[in-house]
Amino acid sequence: MLVLGIESSCDETGVALVQAGGGAIPRLLGHALHSQVRMHEAYGGVVPELASRDHIRRVLPLTRQVLAESHRSLPDVDVVAFTRGPGLAGALLVGAGVACALGASLGKPVLGVHHLEGHLLSPFLSADPPEFPFVALLVSGGHTQLMRVEGVGQYELLGETIDDAAGEAFDKSAKLLGLGYPGGPALSKLAEQGDAKAFALPRPLLHSGDLDFSFAGLKTAVLTQVRKLGDQVDARKADVAASTEAAIVEVLLKKSLAALKATGLKRLVVAGGVGANRHLREQLDAGCARRGVRVHYPELALCTDNGAMIAMAAAMRLDAGVDVAVRTYAFDVKPRWPLDELSAV
């Protein structure tokens, strides 16, 4: 079974082709991505209207590219999957519209996929795929959640951020340091040259006793620190970056370990853009190794948004028999859509 996946929830247009069926883990045949980061950079954030228009420009050329690189043609596709939500409504509608038009013209079923389920299942595309059950740490630009995952579609929310997401904390702190948008990767690069103990920044909710997160206060603390440094800020930028990264990573590490302890599970799956962070990976690897816990990550290139994770989630749903692709082609999108609302049947 060949699944074509289309991602267009935010500022990345992603298309991918996955081969599924036969009981094996679905295999990625090809994927292509266009990031709009350059386009939105000048505005310091994503401009929804520009995002939608650019998805329209990119999605068909990317689809042709993926098919050509995978040595397949459109009629070979068995199911067309698209990101149904959460995300920007206008951007989601582009992927949904194109997927349904393709499905209708080919006479093939379409399947709307949850974007976070895509992130969550993306480590199954790695060389070291996980096995169910596991604890998932979902750390992206819009979400920070710990979940207990028993299988495809079986997601129990254990805790989540009560304000900003971890990726947002990286991006907002980076902005305060003049590192552009989205500044997470730049902040983490700069942090490598800095002293993580230089500034004592808050570790919000570290000892709250639950599995929730809060990162809004950290951004304020970074702002206060930057103001205090005044003229010296340029000379101390790397130290501020390292201290910020250390604060975020420590909270993510401690809460993940607490979730593992609470559930008794011995497997952790990390997903979402912040999962690309090198320091986070080192800390999780070390902390989990000491407790006999295995950690699984997506390939670095598949941590942030992409089409491969959407095709993969659709393929795994179909393989598990937990969802039915439809042929009605009357699509809708869900800009707001909690992951634990997904069902296993």
Count of residues that bind Mg ion according to CB under 5 A: 4
Q: How far is the CB of 188 from ligand ATP (least distance, A)?
A: 4
Q: How far is the CB of 67 from ligand ATP (least distance, A)?
A: 24
* Stretch binding ligand ATP (CB under 6 A), from 21-29, 63-71, 136-144, 232-240: 136-144
**Residue number with CB closer to Mg ion (78 or 305):** 305
Is the bond into 133 cis (omega within 30 degrees of 0)? yes
The binder of 143, among ligand ATP, Fe ion, Mg ion, none, by C-beta within 5 to 8 A per type, is: ligand ATP
Window 256-275: residues binding Mg ion (CB under 5 A): none
Q: How far is the CB of 304 from Mg ion (least distance, A)?
A: 6
Residue 278's alpha-carbon distances to 64, 97, 282, in angstroms, are: 34, 37, 6
Measuring CA to CA, which residue among 66, 63, 54 is closest to residue 11? 54
Q: Binding Fe ion by CB under 5 A: which of 63, 70, 140, 243?
A: 140
Instruction: Quote the tokens at residue 203.
Output: 């570790």
* Stretch binding Mg ion (CB under 5 A), from 7-15, 92-100, 207-215, 256-264: 7-15
Q: How far is the CB of 314 from ligand ATP (least distance, A)?
A: 17
Mark 292-321 with x for binding to Fe ion (rule: CB under 5 A) and - for no binding: -------------x----------------
**Residue number with CB closer to ligand ATP (239 or 305):** 305
Q: Binding Mg ion by CB under 5 A: which of 4, 9, 11, 118?
A: 11
155 contacts ligand ATP (rule: CB under 6 A): no
Mark 172-191 with x for binding to ligand ATP (rule: CB under 6 A) and - for no binding: ----------x-xx--x---
Q: Binding ligand ATP by CB under 6 A: which of 48, 109, 133, 142?
A: 142
Residue nearest to Mg ion (CB): 11
Instruction: Quote the tokens at residue 195.
Output: 């002293």
**Residue number with CB closer to ligand ATP (185 or 202):** 185
Annotated binding site: 115, 119, 138-142, 171, 184, 277, 305
Pairing of strands 110-114, 2-7: unpaired
Question: What does the alpha-carbon distance between residue 95 and residue 81 come to, in Å, rounded to a whole number?
Answer: 9
Q: How far is the CB of 55 from ligand ATP (least distance, A)?
A: 14
Q: How far is the CB of 173 from Mg ion (least distance, A)?
A: 17
Half-sphere exposure of 337 (CA within 13 A, CB side): 21
Annotated binding site for Fe cation: 115, 119, 305
Q: How many residues make up the chain in this entry?
A: 345
Window 267-286: residues binding ligand ATP (CB under 6 A): 272-274, 276-277
Q: How far is the CB of 12 from Fe ion (least distance, A)?
A: 8
Neighbour-count burial of 104, counting CB atoms closer than 10 A to its CB (0-12 exposed, 13-18 middle, 19+ buried) = middle
Judged by the rule CB under 6 A, the positions of this chain that interact with ligand ATP are: 10, 115, 119, 140-143, 167, 170-171, 182, 184-185, 188, 272-274, 276-277, 304-305
Given the rule CB under 5 A, which residues bind Fe ion? 140, 305
